[in-house]
Amino acid sequence: MNTALITFYKKYGYNQNIFYQDLIAGLTVGIVALPLSIAIAIASGASPDKGIITAVIGGFFISFFGGSKFQIGGPTGAFIVVVYSVISKHGYDGLLLATFLASFILFFCGLFKLGKLIEHVPHSVIMGFTSGISIILFTSQVKDFLGINLDQLPADFYHRWFIYFHNLNLIKASSIVIGVLTLAIILLQRKYFKKLPGFLIALGICTLVVYFFNLPVDTIGGKYPNMDIAFEAPSIPAWSTDKLIHVIPSAFTIAFLAGIESLLCAVMADKMTGKKHDPNQELVAQGISNFASSIFAGMPVTGALARTATNIDAGAKSPVAGIVQSFFILFFGFIAFDLIKFIPLASLAAVLFMVAYNMSEIKGFVLALNNSKSEFFVSIVTFLLTIFYSILIAVVVGLVLYFLLLKLKK
């Protein structure tokens, strides 16, 4: 047995039971991550296979090198606007070059220990943005849960709900039945069979129900019928002096977004598990992951809030879950897409409803209201800004408010 493996065993007290839990968590996250990665790629202006490539590479390298035991890496919704903008202005080659440059920025930020700055983010701000993300996640899955078949939906919270309410006539009763059945199975498992993998059991049962009863429910295969995947040989992104100069601002934007989202995601994981991450190592891992993604023609990589929460909720115990997850995505993408194409989107939506609920901070808001009105105010403002604007604006405003109120107290 090599030294690295011995160190790993000692560090995590690893055993067969833990590996089983990591295996189940990795499989669960892989099933959830695959359609999300494809959807994010399409929304970003890239082809579906780019989302899978990014999820595989990001999932592996962020888990292998990262400073958090539970962080899941890959393409995320927070990058959609940025990636779409870069591709529109500079083409996909320009995105690869910007991501390549961003990887070095992230790596050196970690090397010079700038990740420690995130430790100054107060709990009230974290609570606000985490709850905001849970609402955004819930909102994003309503369409599939109700079976509303709309391709073009606005990204912002308010207009998305506006579209939902004006298309209630498109609701499919069969989708709601499958979604509710999925939720019921998960809740029953959590109450009576806590050691069993509830998400997997629910997805498996509901997939069989849809298949054998031939129910008119949207599935992964129905939504992405012509998906194909092929890894290109690794190569440095094409560049010229002129192109390099033009993509530098985009590189800094990608680096900033990847850094802040991954560190906030790691903080969220700490809060959900009671563990502690290494922020500087996390930035180093982000640098390595984005470097690998760019040379394999993938998109920007960062910590994925919803997938990390799913990983924790599915029972992950170590970084092995994230590594396993990347191999499952690779396996599904190349070999087993026919096996998962029957998974109903309503069931995936139900799984993510549970994840969103577990991410929410209802009890935290009640405690803050009773203990500190100023912290409650900061949390509410951060929460609302996360929903209606962006995580970045929410965090910045939340921090400013917190420190202003702190000074006023003195």
**pLDDT digit string, tens, across residues 310-365:** 889 888 888 999 999 999 988 877 776 667 778 888 988 888 888 788 777 777 77
Handedness of CA 103, 105, 108, 113 (dihedral sign): negative
CA distances from 26 to 14, 91, 198, 201, 300 (A): 16, 33, 14, 14, 21
Distance separating the N- and C-terminal Cα atoms of the chain:
58
> Which tens digits make up the pLDDT trace of 19-70?
888 998 898 888 878 877 877 787 677 877 888 899 999 889 999 998 888 9
Q: Which residues contact 145 (CB under 8 A, 6 or more apart)?
A: 175, 176, 179, 346, 349, 350, 353
The tokens for 253 are 């934007």
pLDDT at position 336 is 67
pLDDT at position 108 is 93
**Is residue 343 classed as helix, strand or coil in its secondary structure?**
coil
pLDDT at position 368 is 73
> Which tens digits make up the pLDDT trace of 80-133?
767 877 888 889 999 999 999 999 999 999 999 888 776 677 878 888 887 887
| pLDDT bracket for residue 4 (50, 70, 90) | very low
| pLDDT bracket for residue 304 (50, 70, 90) | confident
Residue corresponding to tokens 């400073």? 67
CA distances from 220 to 3, 141, 207, 335, 343 (A): 42, 14, 11, 15, 6
pLDDT at position 2 is 45
Q: How far apart are CA 41 and CA 37, in angstroms?
A: 6
Q: Read off the pLDDT of each residue in 136-149 and give the average, rounded to a whole number.
A: 86
pLDDT at position 390 is 74
Long-range contacts formed by 39-43: CB under 8 A, 24+ apart: 40/75, 40/76, 40/77, 40/79, 40/80, 41/75, 41/299, 43/77, 43/80, 43/84
Q: How far apart are CA 46 and CA 80, in angstroms?
A: 10
> Which tens digits make up the pLDDT trace of 227-280?
666 677 788 988 888 888 989 988 988 888 788 888 888 888 888 888 888 889
Q: How far apart are CA 61 and CA 299, in angstroms?
A: 14
| pLDDT bracket for residue 1 (50, 70, 90) | very low
> For 142, phi and psi rounded to 5 degrees?
-60, -40
| pLDDT bracket for residue 155 (50, 70, 90) | low
> For 73, phi and psi rounded to 5 degrees?
-105, 160
CA distances from 347 to 21, 31, 219, 227, 317 (A): 22, 11, 9, 21, 25
> To which H or E segment does residue 74 belong?
strand 73-74
Give the 3-state secondary structure percentages of the chain, helix then strand then coil, rounded to 5: 75, 0, 25
CA distances from 303 to 94, 262, 263 (A): 22, 4, 8
Angle between helix 373-388 and 362-371 (nearest 10): 140
**Is residue 377 classed as helix, strand or coil in its secondary structure?**
helix
CA distances from 240 to 237, 291, 293, 398 (A): 10, 18, 20, 40
Q: Read off the pLDDT of each residue in 196-209 and give the average, rounded to a whole number.
A: 84
The tokens for 26 are 């990795």
pLDDT of 370 > 90? The answer is: no
pLDDT at position 56 is 93
pTM comes to 0.73
